[in-house]
Amino acid sequence: MNRFARALAPADRPRLVAYVTAGDPDPARSRDVLRGLVRGGADVIELGVPFSDPVADGPVIQRASERALAAGTTLGGVLDMVADLRRESDVPVVIFTYLNPVLRLGFDTFVARSAEVGVDGVLLLDIPIEESGEARTALESRGLDPIYLVSPTTTDARLRVAAEHGRGFLYAISRLGVTGMRDALAESARPLVARIRRFTDLPVALGFGISRPEHVREVATFADAAVVGSAIVKVIDEAAREGRDVGKAVEEFVRWLKTGA
């Protein structure tokens, strides 16, 4: 059983996939953030690679990418962070990245290094699933799970392909648009997960707009995990600007998301 299977197995508590932008607010404190995620109880860490043109991300995560890039964060440095984390924790790690940083490092180098440091899965955001065969083969050859995004507008035909070729879990986007916090779950969330269940037994993690414990609890009634990103990134930004311990701030917020306390 791999780390995803253990982390997302059915349980009597909400499961949480926690997204942060690597290198935000700077590489040193980003390592503290990762430790805070683990202490707070994140079941899976989704580690975003900062990119200059993050077209799928809203303003909170866009600014995090800007801060991380200004602080000198590189894809190689992100993988070094995973290596450091692996010395302390076996929490599953997904690398969430646009293709350009991977091509700049070199795709083969990226795959080899990711496997070496203990990455579990890779979500290549801007490769259409129909064009992902070569990347998928390379990832799977080194034991890395290709993670695919599906949305309310994904056709049944494409859901079948994602279900056939995805590994680890499927990432369901609850609504269209960019990342960001919302007051309530999208009405399309539950029907989307129900559709996905028709095609796969893979765990389904639901993201976009989730920011509060009641959202996480609601998601847990019909999906396998909730994905929270912008809300956590906002906590990091506020703690850094106020001179507080970012790792502790993240730890407390993640624990609140999971328990409400």
Residue 88 is classified by DSSP as T
Name the active-site residue from 12, 24, 53, 57: 57
pLDDT number for residue 178: 43
Question: pLDDT tens digits, residue range 177-222?
Answer: 444 445 557 678 899 999 999 999 999 999 988 999 999 999 999 9
What's the mean pLDDT in 76-91?
Answer: 97
Q: How far is CA 243 from CA 114, 238, 258, in A?
A: 32, 9, 25
Residue 144 is classified by DSSP as P
pLDDT number for residue 181: 45
Q: Are 167 and 129 in contact (CB under 8 A)?
A: no
Q: Take residue 117 and report the two structure tokens written for it.
A: 């440091």
pLDDT number for residue 251: 98
> Which residue bears the tokens 């809300």?
231
**Nearest of 212, 238, 208, 230 to residue 62 by alpha carbon:** 230
For the chain, how big is the Rg over CA atoms in Å? 17
> Which residue bears the tokens 């990103």?
229
Tell me if 9 is assigned to some domain: no
CA 18 from centre of chain: 6
Which domain CATH number covers 147? 3.20.20.70
What's the mean pLDDT in 165-170?
Answer: 96
Residue 195 is classified by DSSP as H
Using CA atoms, how far apart are residues 103 and 8, in angstroms rounded to an integer? Answer: 31
Q: Are 15 and 63 in contact (CB under 8 A)?
A: no
Name the active-site residue from 12, 32, 43, 46: 46
Q: State which residues form the domain around 235.
A: 14-259
Question: Would you call 88 exposed, middle or buried from its count of C-beta atoms within 10 A (0-12, 13-18, 19+)?
Answer: exposed
* Cβ contacts of 76 within 8 Å, gap of 6 or more: 105, 113
Give the percent of the chain with pLDDT over 70: 95
Q: Is the pTM of this model over 0.85?
A: yes
**Nearest of 89, 69, 88 to residue 24 by alpha carbon:** 69
Query: Which range (72-76, 185-189, 253-257) has the least confidence?
Result: 185-189
Tell me if 7 is assigned to some domain: no
C-alpha angle 157-178-28 in degrees, rounded to nearest 5: 115
pLDDT number for residue 184: 55
Report the number of distinct structural domains present in the chain.
1
**Nearest of 104, 141, 139, 126 to residue 55 by alpha carbon:** 126
> Which residue bears the tokens 């499961």?
15
pLDDT band at 2, cuts 50/70/90?
A: confident
46 is catalytic: yes
pLDDT at 63 over 80: yes
116 is catalytic: no
Tell me if 5 is assigned to some domain: no
Question: pLDDT tens digits, residue range 225-252?
Answer: 999 999 999 999 999 999 999 999 999 9
